[in-house]
Chain A
């Protein structure tokens, strides 16, 4: 393993780990806030119990997310010093705003976690709202910085130097809107799917049925809305990428030749040597429609670009397929739930639906990991698309392989402990089966 691969893998694991905690930190406070509002409005003691249960989860995930986020800000400099030296002032603004939002989030979370009995219920509830809003804003600001790497603008590039920096133009770059809404919806979909799945499972197991019913009632609307909006958002993002990063788009669908009326591939294994895809299902002309809203439009193939500027096609293609598959299943589950709710029936009257919720519960997180793989691996070999190659941003420090394995061990260990802790949290609250 060379240094570049070690550094990229370390970054991938760090981001892959952090993103799980980041999305939970973004969305759980919103659910917690909704639950607490139920308690304030209806004086339902179970809503308070649910709020406190979710609050404990939020505290764990938020704290681990905060430290893994701190680690990431170190890693950006330690692994990619040349990137930070050049891009730091350009993307610094969204990061400084993110810092403000994250600070507010942390303060508000402190107030909420320890504020029971010290504040009026309304003020206390307001602090939970601030946690949720600041969390979402924080995510959008980070997205602005990442979007800039895909659509770099707001500077003049002369002889390897980034001059005349306009941080506003850099922050409000062409990729921001599509990435921000796609990721925000993904956060809501994945977290609400996870929460819905856990409470559905506990309901099916007969543990604290009324508490789990309440949790399902609160979470389901978030899940339905975000999961059904996500395919629309995905379509918008696909069109954006097709126009702005055509080589990434070609890799996502393993399209080697420029084609008019290009087919959409479902599944399949690309063979880069042979420039073909095996075992794929072809939907005629659908890729052209996905890219340009026109069944006969031309979609650029990979061969339009120098081969040394192709991203790893196999990884990007498979990750894209996984993301679409998971997103589609989630949307299907959401649609079924919506139909049942429109018919004014309770979701818990349909055990098969609860089983479906359990089945799809990890798919949001899987889709997020796959989606980030598409975004990041699909941009390779560039770290700043079209301007700086990833290899040119790398540190000269030795033993990056050792560092990678240390971090890998660290993240796996932490993931194990967090999972164990989470299991204990559920165990304590749902130990007893309901009496018949």
Chain B
């Protein structure tokens, strides 16, 4: 039962990272001087994101709801130890959502568009950075669960080079995903989009290596945990190899395969961070863990949550497929 709930939470996190992540990345690309006309960029991003924008972001709400329902101790831990990074992320999410709405639904197109445009882009960078930082800090586990001091409990564990480098890596990863999706959607200037994707590809490899190096120097024991685990290292290697497959699909313009590869690649990256810790959610430096089993709610709660998830997905998945079919598949006909 716990495995099923963890799986569904993982799927929600994966879909949020993939789909909403591409939205975040698109926001960043919108303000960067990437050699594509601004109006064209804005219009393409609006067309690609508009119909699915709200739905993409509800994967995050689903993951949050599952976590406080099934794993209240984990929800409590994350809320307390990541009070400030989550607070910063939340502010970014609201600015981003609001500016996207204003950008696309303001009936009068004047100077205000520029303001929305910049707010949208800057808040996209802000959000992706904090998401990466939180994930990085959890991977590092530089905290003690008995910390009560203000600095130790609320700041120390995320103010370090690895967490910051993960913030940068996540930002570049989401830009890469966005670039892939937009290259597939673009009807004009495809060559420019392709070139951009290749540039971001190089940046992604560089930031990945940087993150890896920082972990190795900063926390060699943690590096061993992730890089000497056979499953984890296989997944990392696979995600690296898939980057080349990705470039091939772009070159050959195989859109659906390109999306599929992007999805598998993200599963590999998330899996590489998750597998060495499982069945724990986090593992502190002093070896204390919060495990999914120990942090879970009573069996009756889990059982009813499982039914609710299955029942909910029976409604959501066909509807979501229908939405995608209308706007993503039909638009390519």
Which residues of A come within 8 Å of B, CB atoms?
56, 59-60, 62-64, 66-71, 73-78, 81-82, 84-86, 88-90, 92-93, 95-100, 102-104, 106-111, 113-115, 118-119, 163-168, 395-398, 403, 406-407, 410, 414, 417-418, 421, 424-425, 427-429
Contact = CB atoms under 8 A, between A and B. Distances in A.
Contacts of B83: 78, 395, 397
Interface of B: 50-55, 57-58, 60-62, 64-66, 68-70, 72-73, 75-76, 78-80, 83-84, 86-87, 89-91, 93-98, 100-102, 105-108, 148, 150, 153-154, 297-298, 300-301, 304-305, 308-309, 311-312, 315-316, 319-320, 322-323, 326-327, 330
29 contacts: A56-B107, A59-B101, A64-B97, A69-B61, A71-B93, A81-B79, A81-B80, A84-B68, A86-B72, A88-B75, A89-B69, A92-B68, A92-B301, A93-B304, A95-B68, A102-B58, A103-B312, A103-B320, A110-B50, A110-B51, A110-B55, A113-B50, A114-B50, A114-B51, A114-B326, A114-B327, A163-B298, A397-B83, A428-B108
Q: 4 shortest A-B CB distances, which residue pairs? A: A92-B69, A67-B97, A77-B79, A100-B312
Nearest to A72: B90
A103 B69 contact: no
A74 B323 CA distance: 27
Contacts of A108: 319
Given A82-B76, A421-B102, A99 B58 contact: yes
Given A73-B61, A84-B72, A100-B308, A62 B90 contact: no
Contacts of A410: 91, 94-95
- For chain A, what secondary structure do more than half of its interface residues adopt (helix, strand, loop), or is it mixed? helix
Nearest to B110: A424
Contact of A102 (B61, B75, B305, B330): B61
Contact of B107 (A76, A103, A406, A428): A428
A167 B300 contact: yes
B61 A398 contact: no
A64 B69 contact: no
- For chain B, what secondary structure do more than half of its interface residues adopt (helix, strand, loop), or is it mixed? helix
B319 A414 contact: no
Given A63-B54, A110-B52, A113-B51, A103 B62 contact: yes
B301 to A, nearest CB: 4
B125 to A, nearest CB: 17
Contacts of B305: 92-93, 96
Contact of B87 (A60, A93, A403): A403
Contact of A395 (B57, B68, B80): B80
Given A74-B87, A102-B58, A93 B79 contact: no
Find the residue from A89, A97, A165, A410 having the highest chain B CB count within 10 A: A89
B51 A397 contact: no
Contacts of A424: 106-108
Given A60-B105, A77-B68, A104-B319, 11 more contacts: A64-B98, A66-B97, A70-B60, A95-B69, A99-B65, A103-B55, A395-B80, A396-B80, A396-B148, A407-B91, A424-B106
A106 B105 CA distance: 16
B80 A397 contact: yes
B300 A85 contact: no
A351 B320 CA distance: 47
Nearest to A74: B90
Contacts of B78: 77
Contact of B297 (A67, A89, A407): A89
A102 B61 CA distance: 10
Nearest to B66: A96
A427 B107 CA distance: 9
B316 A68 contact: no
Contacts of A163: 298
A409 to B, nearest CB: 10
Find the residue from A68, A107, A428 having the highest chain B CB count within 10 A: A107
A430 to B, nearest CB: 11
A63 B80 contact: no
A127 to B, nearest CB: 9
Given A84-B76, A96-B65, A110-B55, A89 B70 contact: yes
A163 B300 CA distance: 11
B154 A68 contact: no
B19 to A, nearest CB: 12
A40 to B, nearest CB: 19
Find the residue from B58, B86, B316 having the highest chain A CB count within 10 A: B58
Contacts of A167: 300-301, 304
Nearest to A97: B308
Nearest to B303: A167
B52 to A, nearest CB: 6
A66 B97 CA distance: 8
Contacts of A59: 101, 105
Given A64-B98, A167-B304, A103 B68 contact: no
B212 to A, nearest CB: 31
B308 A70 contact: no
Nearest to A69: B61
B312 A88 contact: no
A425 B298 contact: no
A432 to B, nearest CB: 15
A139 to B, nearest CB: 15
A20 B272 CA distance: 43
